[in-house]
A = this chain, B = another copy of it.
């Protein structure tokens, strides 16, 4: 444990290590953004991040871990950016749809990157459980916050259940779009229909 704070959930190590980790994730995002999942080749990432292949594997034990970690970082950024934006819309359904569509549009503006990250997410097995869980929680909390803005009613179990279902649909829609089975418009439709069904009150 190199940090003085032994309770920290994430121990990022020395400054040099943090820097390497950042360079690796930056290279990952850059390559993914440019060429998608297939372009994120471990040798290429290592070269672009200026580390040896073995070092890359020391930081991230597989390509999937690497991409899911990148996803996590991006998602945290998105969530923070969204956190202090006012949420327009009167009804719950309207607000949720607005936020989801905005987020989806953001992802669709960088299709290759989205493809790479989504694919990795879908392919991740139990060994990536921690990172995946993190992302799932982030999404659910993002949705419940939109559903029950500050000051309003308590977040109920049903709210959480609904948020999870919406998350599932969003994921399916995203996969459909990423794999070229649905258009962007269809993806938006799919989410909108689900939200309206789930939040009709």
Contacts and interface: CB of A to CB of B under 8 A. Distances in A.
A165 B125 contact: no
Interface string A123-166: 11110010011000000000000000000000000100110110
B181 A194 contact: no
Contact of A129 (B175, B180, B190): B180
A193 B161 contact: yes
A122 interface: yes
Interface class of chain A by DSSP: helix
Contacts of A123: 119, 122-123
Given A123-B123, A161-B193, A168-B190, 9 more contacts: A126-B180, A129-B181, A132-B179, A161-B194, A165-B165, A165-B194, A168-B168, A168-B171, A168-B172
Which residue, of A122, A126, A162, has the highest number of chain B Cβ atoms within 10 A?
Answer: A122
B197 A126 contact: no
A123 B181 CA distance: 12
A90 B169 CA distance: 27
B169 A165 contact: yes
A125 B179 contact: yes
Interface in A171-194: 171-173, 175, 179-181, 190, 193-194
A107 interface: no
A163 to B, nearest CB: 11
Contacts of A161: 193-194, 197
